[in-house]
Each structure stands twice: as C-alpha cells, then as structure tokens.
Structure 1
Amino acid sequence: MGCLQSKEKEENNQVQGDKDPPKTYSWDKREKVNPADFTIENISGQEVGRLPGTINGQQFIIQNCQSSKIYLFDYINTITVDDCSDCIIFIGPTTGSLFLRDCHDCVIMAACGQFRTRDCCKMDVFLLCQTQPIIEASTKMRFGCFQAYYPQLADHFTKAKISIFNNNWSNIHDFTPVEGETNWSSVSQNSALVEVFKLPKSEDFKSVGLSLDTNMSIVPYSLGSPVYGTQEATLIIFFYDASYKQRAINFITLLRTEVTNCVIQHSREVKMEVADAQRVFRTSEYNSVISQGPVIALLCLGNGVMEASSAIAAQVNSSSTSQTVYVTSDSNTSNQQIDAFFSYASMSMSL
C-alpha cells in the first residue's frame, strides 16, 4: 500500500515537472513607473521641470503651483494643469490632450493634439494645436503662435506625431460664450511672447538652449484666422517625397529674405484625394504626385510674394527630376485655389 502511494506521488511529481513555465506578457516586462516622476505639484516661487529624455511620452500632471516657472523639455502623451496661478509653463510636444483647469494669471507655451480650458482667467497661451482649441467657462484668454527652439525639439515633435504645419492656434471655439462679451483675443505681434514668457535661469534648464527667436523656431510663425482680404496672396504646395518637410522649411526661410513683408497666414499638412486635387489644381497633371503621400501647403501674403515664390519654386524644381513645388500662377486663379484647398484641408482635419 505504501509502495503504491509512493509510486503515485513520484509520477505526480514528474507530471508537475513537465508542465510549461508560467506565461509572461508584455505588460509584465514594463519598467515600473513612479508617478512622482511625472507630477509637479504644490510648489511656490520655484523653477522646476524635466530635461530631454526624462518623460519619453508618459502622461504628466501639474497641479497646485504658484508663482513658479515650469519647463517640460520632452515629448508627452497627455497632460493636465490644475489650480495653478502666476506661473510660466513650457510644455513640449504632446500627442493627445492638454487640459487647463482652474488656472489664472499664467503664461503657457505648448504644442499638442487637442487643447481645452475650463474655469480659467487671464491666461496668455502661445499654442500649436492640431485640432480646434476649445475654451469653456474661461475669460480674458489671449492666444498667440507657438514659437520656440531647442536642439531636441524637432525630434520630440516627430516622436509625439505632431505636425509643425498643422496649427490651429487662432481658431478658438468658445463653448460658453456670453452675449456682448469676448472671452478671448489673439496676439498678432510676436513681440508679446518675449515680453511675457521668461527663459529659465537655473543652469540645468538653461543648458537645454531654449530660444524664442522666430527665425529659429521649429514651428513656422503664422497669423492665423483673419482673412487675407485685399493683400496679395499665393498658395504654395510641396509634394511628398523623402525631404518635402525640410524643403518647405528652407523655402520659407528663403522667401522671407526675398520678400521683407512676407507672412504666413495658414499652413497645413494633409493627404489629398485625386478628385479634390483636381478641384484645386483644375487639371489632372498632378494626380500621380498627389497619390504618393501628404502635401504641405502655405498661404503666404505680401507685396511681390507670388513673383518671388514662383522664382524660388522654379529653381527648386529645376534641380529635381520631377516637380516638387507648386505655386499659384496668377492672381485671377490664386484666391479660388486658396479657398478650394483650405476648405478641403479644414474638412479633412475635422473628420
């Protein structure tokens, strides 16, 4: 009897030993996250933040801060800013939403996918937003165009999947308007940015190399919502290839040296369908290049901007095996093409 039980126990042990080891899953291998590393709270009169490579696409929280300067030099998933007052806050490229709640007397510079405020007052926001920014129960809000540079910023935009050419900073939707009152206004002169946004002073954050110089900014400066009216306007489109983004940036730099009063009203990066391209170009000539990938479009204003743009585009196209830049050819069709393109782009970005 005892021998039989011993044999059964031995067989059971062998069966147990033959079993596969427990399965492991991807979430078991993730590095444990300390929430404190991605939270700044309860500070007053301090200069704090995070250096490049310390957030790496995590969610972030800023809350209950007063009279402080906060710099987040990295790309982020989503971020909330709650109960802050008299603060200067820099927020690096944020894939998802930036939500400001119960804040007042702050200066914010941020790039994000979505932007929303609730119960905020007297805020200066220098913004790049991929979608339409929304304010709710907020007053005395001022908005301007995001303008900044530091060496890792371009890479952070790429990692956050934020296009520097899709900027709706001035297209504000007031969710709770008050009849006879205006809850927000735009800052048309970028000099206001230098006046109200302060650069870091501590050695750690100063060493990042943050600059507010418009000529260095990763994001092209744009005027935003006001219509171009009677000014000379031209539509410039960069067709997709491996270097079309850099080509657009170089074109902007060169155009501004050629036309001293040149400004960009709007810029967009969007994928066009062939049928929509034919409505804009009024020809099927560009169908093949349109099908290769998204395009970048600039609506540029200024005296002589069409002639200067055409000359630059001719030089660029002559050095390529195919047409890489399109510029509206005359003032008679320019406005119609501009309206057709940006109507399509606005519709595509709202889907």
Structure 2
Amino acid sequence: MGGCDSKAKGASPAKTKPKPKAAKPRAKLNPADYIFSQRKDAVLIKEEGSVAGEQFNVEECRNCDIFLLDNIATSFVDECHDCRIFIGPVETSVFIRNCSNCSLVIACQQYRCRECQDCKLALFCGTEPIIESSQNMQFACFDFNYFSLRGQMTRAGLKPWNNKWWMVYDFNKNEDKPNWSLLDQAEASRLLNLEKCPSIAQEELENEGVVPVTLGSRPWPSQETCFVVFLPDSEHLIEAFMSRAVSSWTLCRTRAVQLKEDQLKTLFAWAKEPRLAKCRGEITGIQVCGNNVFKEVQDTLTNTGMVTGAKNLRVVPQKETESLSKQFFETWKDEV
C-alpha cells in the first residue's frame, strides 16, 4: 500500500504552474509629440487619442489657434502671446506663465497662472483658481462642447457638477485696482476660432453642454433660491436634476466635496437624522434660483421619475438656505 506521497501507477506527472506573462513594455514616447513650441500664425490640433493622458506643453507661440482635444495629465503654457487655446480635460493642473492677450478655454482640476496679463478665460476648475503677479485677467464659466468631451472628463476624473471657476484666489490682491474680473458669459463661447478646427462639427457645439453654465458670483436674477444636497453615489440622479435645472430654473452654483463629520452635522442639523453625519464619500450641492423655485423643485422631485431617488437627496429648508449654502459653497474649503 502506498503512503500519502506515493504516486499511483500510470498517474500523470504533476502539472507545473505556468509562469505569468511578462508585462508588455510601454511604448517609448517621443517628447516632440507632446509639445507645441515656437510656432507663429499656425493652427495646431491634437486629436482624441493623440495625448491619451500624458503631459502636454505649449511654449513660445504667437497668434496661434491651438486645440488639445484629448484628456491630459498636466499642462504648462509658457510665453504665449495673442493665442487662442483650448486645453483639456486635464486630470491635475494647468499652469499658465508669462502669457499675454490670450483667450483660453480650459477644463482642469487645478488652474494657476503667474505673470500673465490681458487674458480671457472660460474655465472649468475643480478647485479654486489661483492667479499670481497677473493683471487684467477675466473669467467666465466653461462653455464648450464636442462629442468626446464627456468621456474625456470621466477619464480625467472631472465631475461636471464640481466647477469653482468663479472662486478666484489672487496672491497679490489689490482692492483699489483688482487684478481680475468677470468676463461677460456671452463671450465665453466666442473665445476660440472654431472655424479653424475641422475636427469639431457645428452639431457638436449645439448639443446640450456637458458642463452646465453657472452664475457663480454674478448677480442672480432672483433672490428666491433652493439648495439641494445629494448623498454619495447619486450620479445618475444628479445628472437628471441638472438637466431639469438647466431647462427650468437658473443654475447658480454647484459643488462636490467630502465633508468632515462636524460639517455634516451642521449641514444636516435641521434633518434630525444622525446617520447623515456619518456619510462617507462626496456630497454634492446644487443651488438654483427663480420665482417660486422652492415649490417647483419639490414638485419636480415628487411628481417625476426622480421620486425614486428621493432617499439620496435632501432639500434644505428655505429658512436655512442662505446660511447653509454660504458655508457649503464659500466657507468650507477643500482639503489639500
């Protein structure tokens, strides 16, 4: 009789575990494919898939029309003058340095400029934009669209309802002569020479925008507002509400943020639901304004398909809206 380690007659030899396949080496990148440098009076386009999440820089260009139509890791724009530039969506930061008289349309997580002047921007920014040693900078909300933008923003980790374009922080604040101002929103869609970019068809521009246009710190047409808070993992519900908000009311401001427990307790104190202070994940706030908007929002949430998601949102009471919206959108800063 054989022991436990004996082999039966005619048994097949033990199979050896196959060796794991070696990871396919990453193709070597050509640095020249990831920079536009020292160009003048040119139209420069990077199509979707040509940057594919790598860094891309622009430097020393004059009077150029530049379109970076892909998701990007990070981007630097240096010493450019009289240019019209689209950048994005950018996973991390865009840094503009020593540029003048440029028009820029940018979607990014972080925006910073230094020693720039006379530039106009239509901006999507997930954090507070920063300017330093710059003058006559003008900001409006991002207003641009093409078929691939939504997917590119997703790959870059940018959420369309988290745009702080209007919360500009100036390192060299000058109360007597401010270094930045609001750009007329109507100008935002005219900053680029789109006729010079055959990659984008007119129908793409006319589709409903991926990034909703918000008022931010502009004057609001109505003082009657409604502040709706969405609990974590409510993306589809947020998109449905945003679509309704754009068509029915005026969208004031939006933000997605992970709050501390004491902030959650303050935000939801009126709800008397202790579990809300234990939320883990991003809380999204959307504030709209308009005549009779509070009742209309409640009717929408009650009488449409959004009622099925009611457990994932809370409408802040009217008497609490002013104070809580100010804390949520202005006072509570992002964790760095």
TM bin, normalised by shorter chain, reads 0.7 to 0.9
The alpha-carbon distance between structure 1 residues 253 and 201, as it changes in their structure 2 partners (threshold 3 A), is: same
The alpha-carbon distance between structure 1 residues 294 and 200, as it changes in their structure 2 partners (threshold 3 A), is: same
User: Which residue in the other structure is 2:17 paired with?
Assistant: none
The alpha-carbon distance between structure 1 residues 179 and 311, as it changes in their structure 2 partners (threshold 3 A), is: closer
**Separation of aligned partners in 2, 1:163 and 1:111:** 10
Where do residues 189-228 of structure 1 align in structure 2 (5 Å cutoff)?
A: 189-203=184-198, 205-207=199-201, 211=205, 216-225=208-217
Do 2:139 and 2:181's aligned partners in 1 also have CA atoms closer than 8 Å?
Answer: yes
User: Which residue in the other structure is 2:290 paired with?
Assistant: 302
Do 2:65 and 2:84's aligned partners in 1 also have CA atoms closer than 8 Å?
Answer: yes
Name whichever of 48-57 and 218-227 sits farther off: 218-227
The two structures, once aligned, show a CA RMSD in angstroms of 2.8
User: Which residue in the other structure is 2:74 paired with?
Assistant: 78
**Alignment match of 2:99 (pick from 99, 103, 116):** 103
The alpha-carbon distance between structure 1 residues 199 and 190, as it changes in their structure 2 partners (threshold 3 A), is: same
Amino acid of the residue matched to residue 200 of structure 2? K
- Tell me the secondary structure at the aligned position of residue 188 of structure 2: helix
**Separation of aligned partners in 1, 2:246 and 2:110:** 30
C-alpha displacement of 1:253: 2.4
The alpha-carbon distance between structure 1 residues 192 and 321, as it changes in their structure 2 partners (threshold 3 A), is: closer
**Separation of aligned partners in 2, 1:240 and 1:152:** 26
User: Which residue in the other structure is 1:13 paired with?
Assistant: none
**Alignment match of 2:251 (pick from 248, 264, 268):** 264
**Alignment match of 1:341 (pick from 325, 328, 334):** 328
**Separation of aligned partners in 1, 2:219 and 2:276:** 32
C-alpha displacement of 1:177: 3.2
User: Which residue in the other structure is 1:153 paired with?
Assistant: 149
**Alignment match of 1:50 (pick from 40, 46, 49):** 46
Amino acid of the residue matched to residue 302 of structure 1? G
- Higher Cα Rg: structure 1 or 2? 1
C-alpha displacement of 1:257: 3.3
Q: Greater helix share, 1 or 2?
A: 1
**Separation of aligned partners in 2, 1:319 and 1:133:** 36
The TM-score with structure 2 as length reference comes to 0.84
Aligned residues: 315
Alignment identity in percent?
Answer: 27
The alpha-carbon distance between structure 1 residues 192 and 338, as it changes in their structure 2 partners (threshold 3 A), is: same
Do 1:317 and 1:325's aligned partners in 2 also have CA atoms closer than 8 Å?
Answer: no
C-alpha displacement of 1:152: 1.4
Where do residues 1-351 of structure 1 align in structure 2 (5 Å cutoff)?
A: 29-178=25-174, 180-187=176-183, 189-203=184-198, 205-207=199-201, 211=205, 216-225=208-217, 231-241=223-233, 244-258=234-248, 262-282=249-269, 283-285=271-273, 287=275, 291=279, 293-316=281-304, 319-320=307-308, 323-329=311-317, 331-342=318-329, 346-347=332-333, 349-351=334-336
**Separation of aligned partners in 1, 2:97 and 2:274:** 47
The TM-score with structure 1 as length reference comes to 0.81
**Separation of aligned partners in 2, 1:81 and 1:248:** 34
**Separation of aligned partners in 2, 1:280 and 1:317:** 26
C-alpha displacement of 1:179: 5.5
C-alpha displacement of 1:336: 3.1
**Separation of aligned partners in 1, 2:213 and 2:85:** 20
**Separation of aligned partners in 1, 2:45 and 2:305:** 45
Do 1:69 and 1:200's aligned partners in 2 also have CA atoms closer than 8 Å?
Answer: no
**Separation of aligned partners in 1, 2:88 and 2:215:** 22
